[in-house]
Structure 1
Amino acid sequence: MDSPGLKLSPSTFEEMSQPLALDLIAVFSMMKEDIQKVLQKAEKEEWSAERTIKEITDLI
């Protein structure tokens, strides 16, 4: 029994999901840069592991 709802062809799904994928890549790229900055600051200032984890968690 088919479930009711919108049926998308594979090409339509790909076209619709591509912009979202690009947005996610951009967001994760920015997050990576921010996390790297926190890690550099943590190393420079000799933060505890707990503080480092908290700072990274606050970013997310």
Structure 2
Amino acid sequence: MLTLLVLLAAVLFAGFRLLTFVYYKKHDISLSRIDSELAERFAHPDSADRSESGDPGRIS
């Protein structure tokens, strides 16, 4: 029974990966584009100011 559950989990994971791959290929989304968009989304222009001021709200 445990073997069947592990196989089911593996098949679902592989299916999800395949669908993700097909979606990215269809929409011509490369990993470098994803990386740059994530970097822009999480870039904080005032992060240097926070690190120098010792802001207690800053997450390390």
Alignment TM-score, normalising by the size of structure 2:
0.48
Structure with greater proportional helix content: 1
Relative contact order: is structure 1 or structure 2 higher (C-alpha 8 Å, sep ≥ 6)? Answer: 1
Alignment TM-score, normalising by the size of structure 1:
0.48
